[in-house]
């Protein structure tokens, strides 16, 4: 891959490059006999989801993972401390599992890699119930878990001669979790009529955002109580252009810090939405697509001022601030591009569903920098690109190229060039984490492949190229070296 498009581009010292991963997708050893059970347990048994099995075996092979990360010149690695792993039964924290996670974090540090620790990435212990996030007590239950786990994990790190965790991610893509569970039905949840799904999606999103607010306080409280340096804490949402599904959540979290009284939140949200829509129109042109407008109308059901549980938590908190960075996952941005007519041509044949698959997501390098600029506009917070990557499909062991001809090498080169141009233009992006290191279990299936390195199934053997036979790892390594000068 020709990297001349990076000529003349440079990133500031301290810019972080790395990878994002998730415990349930990578570790292996969930939902089998004698193994920790999470909320996908039932779906793996009734045929709704392919069993995750050994995944990428990162629970036992984490040293190899970190060696691969370090070899590419990366210095950041996002992993999740799985709730079901450290609390496989109620009211008991598995100290051995916590120790293993501390070993992982310490191993990253010895390789010059900063661990970014996520506390919730789509899964929870099965014993909490399939629809846990609809329970009124779910934010408090999660915060109580965090309040016990964080000090213990920090203690274990300090005992190993390492500094405590510096960066915490409370949860990943709460907007996607709510939508995929209760609107699309792709994630485990009890079946519901359509009108009930709308309400369930709104309720779960409300509880997930409240859980972040409570967990933010719990993490900062834990560091303060132990006399540790203040951490940086964020939640990372999937980037949607529709206000209520992304930017509106951030505006809610910033409301108190901006001096907005609880009684004025609805008016504040109205003004912020008008500003956001105007900014999108100025950057990308007026949105005339009727489907996108319809989705915008539906999304009003989760408008920030209607998320009353989250608002109660926000205004009861002793801390006005609830974000230390703007963490975002950048893939496709426009919801209309997630839909197509049944029978459309897809990789491996025709697709008779209404939704486009991950291997059809269009790359949008030219939009990456502009969306990051819009996210940071009006705040004093840096932007962290927590996930960005491209998917292809593997069917019964046969890898298929993308229909649009894009390769992972081209994707990386063009997106990193766009990223560097944005930073040099003043957009406060501090980190880029690629999704992901190895092909993993992509929430119910091994067909979607995002890895920089391929893994064979069912053996789990790791290959030197990606699933399309592309040496994208070398491109990532060389691009990082070029941008760091």
CATH number, domain of 261, equals 3.20.20.80
Structure tokens belonging to residue 51: 């069993």
Residue-wise pLDDT for 346-368, tens only, equals 898 888 887 889 999 999 999 99
Q: How far is CA 128 from the centre of its chain?
A: 22
Mean pLDDT of the chain: 95
Residue-wise pLDDT for 142-195, tens only, equals 999 999 999 999 999 999 999 999 999 999 999 999 999 998 899 999 888 877
What per-residue confidence (pLDDT) applies to 299? 83
What per-residue confidence (pLDDT) applies to 145? 98
Q: How far are the Cα atoms of 4, 151, 350, 385 from residue 479, in angstroms, in the given order?
A: 10, 37, 36, 16
Residue 274: how many other CB atoms lie within 10 Å: 11
Q: How confident is the model at residue 448 (pLDDT cuts 50, 70, 90)?
A: very high
Q: Which residues pair with 385 in a beta bridge?
A: 328, 432
Residue-wise pLDDT for 92-110, tens only, equals 999 999 999 999 999 999 9
Q: How confident is the model at residue 287 (pLDDT cuts 50, 70, 90)?
A: low
What per-residue confidence (pLDDT) applies to 238? 96
Residue-wise pLDDT for 130-145, tens only, equals 999 999 999 999 999 9
Q: How far are the Cα atoms of 102, 162, 180, 298 from residue 109, in angstroms, in the given order?
A: 11, 8, 35, 45
Domain total for the chain? Answer: 1
What per-residue confidence (pLDDT) applies to 288? 60
DSSP-derived secondary structure letter, 43: H
Structure tokens belonging to residue 273: 């939405």
Q: How confident is the model at residue 294 (pLDDT cuts 50, 70, 90)?
A: confident
- Segments forming the whole domain that contains residue 361: 4-484
243 pLDDT more than 70: yes
Mean pLDDT for the stretch of residues 318-328 = 98
């Amino acid at each position: 891959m020709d990297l001349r498009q990076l000529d003349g581009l440079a990133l500031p010292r301290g810019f972080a490059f790395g990878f994002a991963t998730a415990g349930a997708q990578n570790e292996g050893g969930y939902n089998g006999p004698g193994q920790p059970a999470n909320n996908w347990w039932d779906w793996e048994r009734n045929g709704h989801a392919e069993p995750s099995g050994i995944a990428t075996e990162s629970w036992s092979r984490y040293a190899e993972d970190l060696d691969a990360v370090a070899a590419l010149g990366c210095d950041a690695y996002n992993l999740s401390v799985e709730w079901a792993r450290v609390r496989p039964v109620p009211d008991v924290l598995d100290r051995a599992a916590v120790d293993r996670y501390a070993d992982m974090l310490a191993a990253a540090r010895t390789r010059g890699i900063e661990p970014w620790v996520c506390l919730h990435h789509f899964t929870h212990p099965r014993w909490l119930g399939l629809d846990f996030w609809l329970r009124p007590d779910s934010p408090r239950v999660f915060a109580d878990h965090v309040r016990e786990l964080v000090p213990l994990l920090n203690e274990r790190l300090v005992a190993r001669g390492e500094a405590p965790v510096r960066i915490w991610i409370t949860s990943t893509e709460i907007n996607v979790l709510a939508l995929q569970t209760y609107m699309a039905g792709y994630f485990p949840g009890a079946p519901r009529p359509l009108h009930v799904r709308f309400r369930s999606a709104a309720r779960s999103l409300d509880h997930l955002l409240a859980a972040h607010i409570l967990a933010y306080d719990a993490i900062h409280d834990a560091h303060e109580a132990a006399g540790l340096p203040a951490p940086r804490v964020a939640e990372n949402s999937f980037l949607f252009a529709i206000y209520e599904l992304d930017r509106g959540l951030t505006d809610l979290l910033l409301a108190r810090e901006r001096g907005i009284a609880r009684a004025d939140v609805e008016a504040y949200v109205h003004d912020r939405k008008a500003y956001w829509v105007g900014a999108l129109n100025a950057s990308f042109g007026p949105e005339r697509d009727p489907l996108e407008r319809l989705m915008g109308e539906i999304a009003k059901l989760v408008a920030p001022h209607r998320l009353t549980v989250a608002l109660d938590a926000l205004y009861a908190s002793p801390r006005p601030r609830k974000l230390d960075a703007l963490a975002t996952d950048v893939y496709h941005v426009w919801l209309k591009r997630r839909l197509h007519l049944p029978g459309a041509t897809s990789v491996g044949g025709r697709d008779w569903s209404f939704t486009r698959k991950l291997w059809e997501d269009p790359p949008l390098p030219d939009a990456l920098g502009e969306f990051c600029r819009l996210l940071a506009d009006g705040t004093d917070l840096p932007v962290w690109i927590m996930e960005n990557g491209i998917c292809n499909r593997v069917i019964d062991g046969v890898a298929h190229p993308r229909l649009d001809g894009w390769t992972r090498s081209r994707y990386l080169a063009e997106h990193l060039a766009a990223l560097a141009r944005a930073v040099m233009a003043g957009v406060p992006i501090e980190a880029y984490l690629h999704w992901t290191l190895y092909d993993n279990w992509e929430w119910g299936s091994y067909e979607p492949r995002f890895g920089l390195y391929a893994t064979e199934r069912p053996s789990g053997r790791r290959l030197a190229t990606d699933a399309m036979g592309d040496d994208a790892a070398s491109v990532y390594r060389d691009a990082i070296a070029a941008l760091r000068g």
